[in-house]
């Protein structure tokens, strides 16, 4: 593995002549980013790539399934992207990428992204990351002839890093879902079909930890607007209720004209999903065919009262700010804690 002070950026084999329109879906996990990204990906000219930050770990190292159903290394789309970006995925130094991720890829290192010159090691790793992502996004646009690339990596640190990639025209959708629904989803045992060689399950998180993540990740999204990343706030529940109108606003926010086509196919509350080439995300990324769009409100019926109360109290300030609770609603939850 290259020492931190020996990091060198790979040279992409092609370079885009203009900044690449890129839409980053940010926020907390389990907030509906996969379905939003997939609906956007149905538009002509839009390429939805899923959680692109996991391309190295879940793609190259673990060879998990692409959204199209093929393994990452067997997927014709991603093979061509690797060739166009780097001359082939085998040209990537995975040890170097691990070093980069350790240096810049954690939220605890996020403050350094605001002033990378403070740390020479961080600045060098950030430069390598920027070169990698510049080549990768350029290759995706070339291979799929994209007018817009949608990345649902969600975690704010990724947006803070992408803002340093000068070849990107980066915009963000700050997607928020009720913290109690998010906590309920994180606590469920859900199969992970993206791992083809073993029975695997999605990661599970205790409601208290989920609440902390929800507060922190959503809070970290807000400064990005002031840092120059045009940001549109959207609630998952509103998006599902009015998908066509919501997508129209999202595409307008993306800031690029494209052959998006007619959005009327969403007006009956359902959509016919075609396969895409998403990396990681909710297991529904493998679902194709007609899908009914509905608010997943199972948590309101099945969430344990103690868990619901705990999350309500821990996230109350932002639940109220985002319009999920009225000023006095949380008081009704208090007696349930510990019951």
What is the spatial distance between Cα 186 and Cα 184, in angstroms, rounded to a whole number? 6
- Please compute the mean of the pLDDT values over residues 54-72 and round it to a whole number: 95
**If you average pLDDT over every residue of the chain, what do you get?**
89
Region class of 45: left (phi > 0), else alpha (psi between -120 and 50), else beta: left
Which of 78 and 195 is assigned the larger pLDDT?
78
Listed in order, strand segments (DSSP E) in 28-113 are 46-48
Q: What is the pLDDT of residue 329?
A: 64
- In the predicted model, is pLDDT for residue 226 greater than 70? yes
What is the spatial distance between Cα 337 and Cα 112, in angstroms, rounded to a whole number? 39
HSE at residue 278, side-chain half, CA atoms within 13 A, is 33
- How would you write 264-291 as a 3-class SS string? HHHCCCEEEECCCCCECCCHHHHCCEEE
Verify that 94 and 191 share a domain, yes or no: yes
Verify that 266 and 326 share a domain, yes or no: no
Verify that 188 and 336 share a domain, yes or no: no
Verify that 142 and 166 share a domain, yes or no: yes
Give the confidence band of 17 by pLDDT, cuts at 50, 70, 90.
low
- Please compute the mean of the pLDDT values over residues 21-34 and round it to a whole number: 96
Strand 168-176's sheet: what is its strand order?
A: 46-48, 148-154, 20-27, 168-176, 231-235
Q: What is the pLDDT of residue 73?
A: 96
The domain total for the chain is: 2
Q: What is the pLDDT of residue 336?
A: 32
Verify that 229 and 312 share a domain, yes or no: no
Verify that 216 and 319 share a domain, yes or no: no
What is the spatial distance between Cα 51 and Cα 59, in angstroms, rounded to a whole number? 11
pLDDT tens, 239-261?
A: 999 999 999 999 999 987 777 77
Give the confidence band of 6 by pLDDT, cuts at 50, 70, 90.
very low
What is the spatial distance between Cα 319 and Cα 141, in angstroms, rounded to a whole number? 38
pLDDT tens, 121-145?
A: 999 999 999 999 999 999 999 999 9
Alpha carbon distances (Å) from 336 to 214, 259, 311: 21, 52, 12
Strands 270-273 and 231-235: unpaired
Q: What is the pLDDT of residue 11?
A: 42
- Please compute the mean of the pLDDT values over residues 10-16 and round it to a whole number: 43
Q: What is the pLDDT of residue 330?
A: 53
What is the spatial distance between Cα 36 and Cα 1, in angstroms, rounded to a whole number? 38
pLDDT tens, 137-168?
A: 999 999 999 999 999 999 999 999 999 999 99
64 and 196 in contact (C-beta within 8 Å)?
yes
Q: Is the pTM above the cut of 0.85? A: yes
Domain of 326, in residue numbers = 304-339
Query: Between 120-144 and 76-86, two packed helices, what is the crossing angle to 10 degrees?
Result: 130
Verify that 290 and 327 share a domain, yes or no: no
pLDDT tens, 185-216?
A: 999 887 787 777 767 777 899 999 999 999 99
What is the spatial distance between Cα 123 and Cα 116, in angstroms, rounded to a whole number? 5
What is the spatial distance between Cα 145 and Cα 154, in angstroms, rounded to a whole number? 24
Verify that 172 and 312 share a domain, yes or no: no
Verify that 329 and 211 share a domain, yes or no: no
- In the predicted model, is pLDDT for residue 313 greater than 80? yes
- In the predicted model, is pLDDT for residue 268 greater than 90? no
Identify the domain boundary among 295, 312, 330.
Answer: 295
Q: What is the CATH number of the domain that holds 29?
A: 3.40.50.300
Verify that 82 and 146 share a domain, yes or no: yes
User: Which of 41-45, 55-59, 217-221, 328-332 has the lowest average pLDDT?
Assistant: 328-332
Verify that 184 and 330 share a domain, yes or no: no
Verify that 229 and 318 share a domain, yes or no: no
Task: Name the DSSP letter for residue 190.
Answer: -
């Amino acid at each position: 593995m290259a020492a931190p002070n020996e990091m060198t950026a790979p040279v992409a084999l092609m370079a885009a002549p203009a900044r690449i329109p890129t839409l980053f879906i940010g926020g907390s996990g389990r907030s509906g980013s996969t379905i939003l990204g997939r609906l956007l990906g149905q538009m002509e000219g839009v390429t939805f790539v899923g959680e692109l930050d996991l391309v190295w770990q879940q793609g190259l190292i673990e060879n998990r399934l692409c959204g199209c159903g093929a393994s990452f290394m067997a997927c014709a789309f991603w093979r061509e992207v690797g060739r166009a970006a780097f001359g082939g995925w085998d040209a990537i130094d995975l040890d170097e990428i691990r070093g980069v991720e350790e240096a810049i890829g954690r939220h605890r290192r996020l403050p350094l992204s605001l002033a990378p010159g403070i740390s020479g090691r961080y600045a060098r790793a950030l430069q390598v990351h920027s070169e990698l992502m510049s080549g990768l996004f350029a290759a995706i646009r070339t291979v799929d002839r994209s007018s817009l690339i949608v990345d649902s990596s969600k975690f704010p640190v990724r947006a803070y890093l992408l803002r340093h990639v000068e070849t990107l025209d980066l915009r963000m959708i700050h997607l928020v879902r009720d913290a109690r629904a998010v906590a309920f989803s994180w606590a469920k045992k859900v199969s992970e079909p993206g791992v083809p060689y073993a029975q695997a399950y999605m990661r599970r998180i205790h409601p208290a930890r989920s609440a902390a993540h929800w507060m922190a990740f959503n809070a970290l999204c807000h400064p990005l607007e002031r840092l120059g990343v045009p940001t549109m706030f959207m609630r998952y529940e509103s998006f599902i209720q009015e998908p066509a109108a919501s997508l129209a606003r999202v595409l307008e926010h993306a800031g690029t004209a494209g052959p998006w086509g007619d959005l009327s196919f969403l007006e009956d509350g359902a959509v016919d999903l075609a396969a895409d080439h998403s990396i990681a995300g909710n297991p529904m990324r493998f679902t194709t065919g007609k899908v009914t769009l509905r608010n997943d409100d199972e948590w309101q019926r099945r969430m344990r009262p103690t868990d619901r109360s705990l999350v309500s109290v821990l996230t109350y300030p932002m639940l109220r700010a985002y319009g999920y609770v009225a000023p006095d609603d949380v008081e009704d939850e208090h007696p349930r804690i510990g019951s």
